[in-house]
Amino acid sequence: MIARSHDWSAPYGRAAAALLRAKPHVMQGRPGPRPAWPAAAAAAAVLLVAMTAAWSTGQPPLRAALLVALVPLAEEIVFRRGLQETLLRRGASPMGANLLTVFAFGAAHAAVRGDLAGAAVALPALWIGALYGRTRRVAPCAVLHGGLNALWLAAPALLAHVPALG
């Protein structure tokens, strides 16, 4: 925040004062807004991989699109922006907030699947939670989550080409 007691007209002039008011991150030494195209390009690549995997394994393409686009975004909003961010703001350590969020995420997946195998999402969820703790942004987490889901969808097609496994 710009202090009102300082006279910004000297020596920088009113134009400099207006620029600093418009872009406070410059004065605070923080990076400015990031462009959205890298996340959009990564999301498009993830969606392309998932659609290709769905086509090659005979899965419905709509299911693949939902599992790599809509579901990861919704889950990251609920678990990262909702639960993990709330825990961080209430004073939890970054590791503690991540672990509690991972536990809730794994429990939700186990409940939806109806077995403990759903809790296997805990390991990738730790990675996604660490990314959120570092960036405090949902978009990179949703793209990573979608990418991991795309790999999961593509695994049967990829493993079919491994001689010892296929």
Other Cβ atoms within 10 Å of 32 Cβ, number: 9
Mean pLDDT by 10 residues, the chain (166 residues): 51 55 53 65 74 73 84 95 96 96 95 87 94 93 90 79 67
pLDDT for the residue numbered 153: 82
Instruction: Transcribe 64-124 into DSSP letters.
Output: HHIIIIIHHHHHHIIIIIIIIHHHHHTT--HHHHHHHHHHHHHHHHHHHHTSGGGGGGHHH
Say if CB 56 and CB 159 are below 8 A apart. Answer: no
**CA 41 to CA 13: how far, in whole Å?**
41
At residue 8, the pLDDT reads 45
| Its pTM surpasses 0.85 | no
